């Protein structure tokens, strides 16, 4: 039994957790509107000059665009691969299936920074240039376990035998996938796309090793910038990133529902 008092306590606790999670980010956003030339909280005066400034800084715009492209491509590739892997692991029984299952989850247990270093060494030893493709490959690898997970959950949740029913009605394997399997695992696929996108867009550890001056993703650009200067420009850039993420989440909530994304509904 949950009493009214307990319910209130739980509510307050949940609110506190949310506040702690959002507060630091909120402070950055508030700071970004300062009129001063240094980072200060509370901000002194109100101005959007740092936003104007940040939009004029070409290196940030280039990095933002690059990050966007990398994230889009990495999430699509990771989701496509993840779907194929999940289909194989769920639909077929073959020797070594268990081992493969664990192997595909392995990147989760390796710290990003170590993985980035390893990938750098690996690419170097193969003589592959550090470029956008390298960054995308890195992001695909870190996103793949999540993609496999999301699609696997969706596949397991599918009504039994619907694919066989479609086959019996004359649908070839490809038609079965397009008309039955894909529509039914769509929530998992969309979740994978979104999550992979966010992982890629946020990643610092892996990109840091693979970035060159020409291929610096936005988080790396921010990181490098902070290393040398700390002015409100960076808070404005950060605020923009936060708002983009918020907009993306808002769009998903409107179309799919965030809960659906994590299988809560």
Partner 1 sequence: MATVELLDVRKSFGAMQAVAGVSLRIAEGEFVALLGPSGCGKTTTLNLIAGFLEPTGGDIRFDGTSVARLPPHRRNIGVVFQSYALFPHMTVAQNVAFGLEMRKLPKPQVTERVRRALDIVHLGQMEDRNSRQLSGGQQQRVALARALVIEPAVLLLDEPLSNLDAALREQMRFEIREIQQRVGITTVFVTHDQSEAMAAADRLVVMDKGVIRQVGTAREIYETPVDPFVAGFIGQANLIAGTIDRVTGGQAQVVLEDGTRVVASCRPDAHAGQAVMLMVRPEDASVSAVAPPVTAPSATPPSGGNALSGTLLRASLLGATINLGVAVGERSLSVSVPRGTALPPVGSAVFVTWDPERALLFPA
State the residues that interact with partner 1 by CB under 8 A.
Answer: 159-162, 164-173, 175-176, 179-180, 183-184
Q: What is the DSSP letter of 203?
A: -
Least separation in angstroms between residue 185's CB and partner 1 is 11
Decide: 42 and 236 in contact? Cβ < 8 Å: no
Is the Cβ of residue 7 or residue 179 nearer to partner 1 in the bound state?
179
> How wide is the angle at C-alpha 64 spanned by C-alphas 217 and 241, nearest 5°?
105
Is the Cβ of residue 153 or residue 171 nearer to partner 1 in the bound state?
171
Decide: 202 and 22 in contact? Cβ < 8 Å: no
Is the Cβ of residue 144 or residue 154 nearer to partner 1 in the bound state?
154
φ, ψ dihedrals at 93, nearest 5°: -105, 115
Least separation in angstroms between residue 162's CB and partner 1 is 5
Burial of 21 by CB count in 10 Å (0-12 exposed, 13-18 middle, 19+ buried)?
exposed
Decide: 257 and 186 in contact? Cβ < 8 Å: no
Is the Cβ of residue 173 or residue 259 nearer to partner 1 in the bound state?
173
Least separation in angstroms between residue 163's CB and partner 1 is 9
Is the Cβ of residue 73 or residue 171 nearer to partner 1 in the bound state?
171
Q: Which of 144, 142, 149, 95 is nearest to 263 (CA)?
A: 149
Interacting residues of 256 by C-beta distance below 8 A, sequence separation 6+: 187, 190
> How wide is the angle at C-alpha 98 spanned by C-alphas 153 and 190, nearest 5°?
25
Q: How far is it, in rounded angstroms, from Cα 28 to Cα 25?
A: 5
Q: How far is it, in rounded angstroms, from Cα 33 to Cα 31?
A: 5
Decide: 41 and 53 in contact? Cβ < 8 Å: no
Least separation in angstroms between residue 177's CB and partner 1 is 12
Is the Cβ of residue 183 or residue 214 nearer to partner 1 in the bound state?
183
Least separation in angstroms between residue 118's CB and partner 1 is 39
Least separation in angstroms between residue 173's CB and partner 1 is 8
Is the Cβ of residue 161 or residue 212 nearer to partner 1 in the bound state?
161
Least separation in angstroms between residue 196's CB and partner 1 is 24
Decide: 144 and 115 in contact? Cβ < 8 Å: no
């Amino acid at each position: 039994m949950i009493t009214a008092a307990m319910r209130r306590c739980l509510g307050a606790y949940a609110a506190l957790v949310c506040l702690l999670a959002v507060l630091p980010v909120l402070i950055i956003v508030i700071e970004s509107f300062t009129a001063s030339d240094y980072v200060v909280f509370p901000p002194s005066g109100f101005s959007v000059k740092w936003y104007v400034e940040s939009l004029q800084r070409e290196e940030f715009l280039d990095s933002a665009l690059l990050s966007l492209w990398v994230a889009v491509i990495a999430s699509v590739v990771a989701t496509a691969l993840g779907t194929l892997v999940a289909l194989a692991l769920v639909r077929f029984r073959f020797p070594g299936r268990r081992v493969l299952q664990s192997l595909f989850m392995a990147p989760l247990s390796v710290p990003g920074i170590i993985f980035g270093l390893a990938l750098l060494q690996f690419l170097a030893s193969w003589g592959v240039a550090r470029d956008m493709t390298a960054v995308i490959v890195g992001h695909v690898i870190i996103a793949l376990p999540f993609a496999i997970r999301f699609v696997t959950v969706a596949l397991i949740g599918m009504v039994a035998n619907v694919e066989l029913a479609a086959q019996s009605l004359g649908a070839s394997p490809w038609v079965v996938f397009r008309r039955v399997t894909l529509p039914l695992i769509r929530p998992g696929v969309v979740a994978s796309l979104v999550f992979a996108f966010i992982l890629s867009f946020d990643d610092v550890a892996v990109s840091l090793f693979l970035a060159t001056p020409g291929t610096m993703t936005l988080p790396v650009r921010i990181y490098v910038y902070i290393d040398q200067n700390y002015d409100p420009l960076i808070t404005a850039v950060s605020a923009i990133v936060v708002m983009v993420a918020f907009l993306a989440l808002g769009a998903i909530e409107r179309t799919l529902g965030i809960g659906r994304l994590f299988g809560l509904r």
